[in-house]
Amino acid sequence: MTSGPGSAAHRAEVLVVGDLNPDLVLTGDVVPRFGQAEQLLDAASLVVGGSGAITAHGLARLGRDVALLAAVGDDDLGHVMTTRLAAAGVDSGLVLVRAGVPTGVTVVLSRGDDRSMLTLPGAVDTLTADEVVGAATGLVGSGLRHVHVASYFLQPGLARDLPAVLVELRGLGLTTSLDTNADPADRWEGVDALLPHLDVLLPNRAEALALGDDSDPRRAAVALAARGPLTVVKVGSRGAFAATADGELVEEAGSPVEAIDTTGAGDTFDAAFLAAWLDGAGLATALHRAVTAGGHSVLHTGGTAGQPTTAELEAQGATP
């Protein structure tokens, strides 16, 4: 199941660096009531979780050669997650097994268009800068073009070294992207140092406001883009918009749907946007494909069950 980063046996166009853990998605009467109250649920699903894993899975669904660098524990949950990713077409051979550390796990309390998450990080915060650079270096000769980093704030150990890592990755001729996801500590520190070394930043609206230190998401996105990366902001059912380094704003409206579960919709968006961007699609086209993919995702439970294939995107009018 595992091998060292940089093994010649691996091949990928995109390397995703981040988290792999199960999501236990609960629906129905999910608002906890203490006092030893027992509540009955409508459904419970154990699915592939972690922003990094869901993004990698989404890229595989779109036919991209993708590898995931993540860490799990030597336990049943880690084995199941890695097996499911491999079955979906993700190269999971770079997933590292940590002895004595549990696989992370997230309990998702889902209410359709909103959710709450309880996360045990477990092995998530054990990736090192050397492991990331080693994995990317080993894949360069097999066609690696891009490295995407997910769940920045769940990996403080790697985050400290990430500016230098991004410099090394770009030195290898690779493009880079980042989806920070939310900061559980609500401090939002460290991202400023990354911006000059990123090609694409993929926050949602709340993350853009926090990272850009502005009450207006478009002003926040423009300010972030001025520091380096194309900044693509997800705004849920309302669609998305992107800010370029020269201050241009491109918007894509969403189509209202009755969401079953929003888990992983942003990661599915990321996968579709990056796939289009790597193909050289125009910004409007890339946004359209990503918004369509995200809208498709929320019609299913869990982060991966509703991820579209390229054919399914095209059937919905999201042409290359």
3-state secondary structure 69-130: ECEEECCHHHHHHHHHHHHCCCECCCCEEECCCCCCEEEEEECECCEEEEEECHHHHHCCHH
Q: For residues 267, 268, 269 and 272, what is the CA-based torsion angle, rounded to 10 degrees?
A: 120
Residue 290 in contact with residue 79, Cβ under 8 Å? no
Structure tokens at 293: 């993919």
> What per-residue confidence (pLDDT) applies to 1?
36
Q: Note the Cα 66 to chain centre separation in Å.
A: 13
Confirm whether 84 is domain-assigned. yes
Residue 81: which CATH number? 3.40.1190.20
Between vectors from CA 18 to CA 250 and to CA 221, what angle results, nearest 5°?
A: 25
Q: Does position 28 have pLDDT exceeding 80, yes or no? A: yes
Average pLDDT of the residues in 185-192 = 96
- List the domain range (segments joined by +) for residue 108: 14-314
Reported as a single tens digit per residue, the pLDDT across 270-307 is 999 999 999 999 999 999 999 999 999 999 988 899 99
The pLDDT-based confidence of 259 (bands split at 50, 70, 90) is confident
Task: Let me know if residue 162 belongs to a domain.
Answer: yes
Is 5 within a domain? no
Q: Any alpha helices (H) in the chain, and if so which ranges?
A: 51-61, 76-87, 129-140, 156-171, 205-212, 217-226, 265-278, 283-297, 310-315
Tell whether the model's pLDDT for residue 63 goes beyond 60.
Answer: yes
Confidence grade of residue 8 (pLDDT, cut at 50, 70, 90): very low
Say if 4 falls within a structural domain. no
Kindly indicate the confidence band of residue 22, based on its pLDDT and cuts at 50, 70 and 90. very high
Domain membership flag for residue 3: no
Q: What is the pTM of this model?
A: 0.93
- Residue 181, domain member (yes or no): yes
Domains of the chain: total: 1
What's at 91, amino acid-wise? D
Residue 134 lies in a domain: yes
For residue 2, is it within any domain? no
pLDDT band at 9 (very low <50, low <70, confident <90, very high): low
